[in-house]
Structure 1
């Protein structure tokens, strides 16, 4: 392999090792030495790929977000054009895809927070990306909610995030079907054309 190929290979091995180790035993419990041993590279080679554990965590987290966004977007694009169908498809696919691998769920909803403020920007960018998906899906709907669409989308993302945290930390984990049902209920109440919000806006 060329020098660039060797560097790319080491980087991928570190990302693979971190995907497992940062999920369990966790970000703070995983040393650079353990990452390097798992990836079968030297400690010196680590710093040729990443500047710190946090930098590696950011790379793993951003890849998880990218893969999840792709899966959710595809599910929404395949759904019927009605707003309810599109958002429900997106919610169900998000929960299905994230919980299909508990490592992904732990990294995206628990360990990234434990990594500290250094990753707050990456988290905010992820939230913004998923919020845009909801806003894009809602635009063009026959009836729009009476409150600000961006704020409502943020609230829905927050509810979805807390449900996934509950799934990660609770033993036994609640069935994913219940997570979908709860989030869909919140969505439908939030975007209902009739109800307390609509009445107060009239």
Structure 2
């Protein structure tokens, strides 16, 4: 392996370790030593890949977001070309993909907040990307709706985030189908008079 290939391989091992450890026990509780032990690399090798835990968390969060964006875009693209079909496909695609792996849901909706200010920009970038998808698919919104489409999209994202935090933290989490139907109901109540 070349030096670049070794570095890339170490980065992937660290991201895999962070995917597990940042979701349980969580970002604040995960030390660099724990990450290095799980990835089977030295502390020195860690710092060749990342400047610290925050940068690793950002790389992991960005990857989760990109994978989810791709999944949602595919679901919307394959949906019938009506407002409600596109939105329902997007909501179902998002919630289903995020909940397929509890670690992904926890990182994207809980640990990103627990990481603090270091991920504010990354989180805002993710919200902006998901807002764009929603806005792009509500272009035929009835003219009777006077609310700002951007703010409606942000409100829908906030509601979905809270539903997923509940799913992550609840002792008896709601069924995924229930999360999807609730998100669809919120959309219908928000966007239809």
**What's the TM-score once normalised by structure 2's chain length?**
0.97
User: Aligned pair 1:21/2:21, yes or no?
Assistant: yes
Gaps of 5+ in 1: 195-202
**For the residues of structure 1 that align with 2:24 and 2:141, how far apart are their CA atoms?**
46
Cα shift readout 1:118-143 (whole Å, capped 9, x = no counterpart):
1111111100000000000112x162
In the comparison of the two structures, how many residue pairs are matched?
A: 192
RMSD: 0.8
Distance 1:181 1:38, change over 3 A: same
**For the residues of structure 2 that align with 1:88 and 1:142, how far apart are their CA atoms?**
14
Q: Which residue of 1 aligns with 2:142?
A: 143
Greater Rg over alpha carbons, structure: 1
3-state SS of paired residue (1:51): coil
Distance 1:128 1:167, change over 3 A: same
Distance 1:142 1:160, change over 3 A: closer
Gaps of 5+ in 2: none
Conserved 8 A contact 2:141-2:191: no
Q: Which residue of 1 aligns with 2:169?
A: 169
**What's the TM-score once normalised by structure 1's chain length?**
0.93
Q: Which residue of 2 aligns with 1:91?
A: 91
Q: Which residue of 2 aligns with 1:81?
A: 81
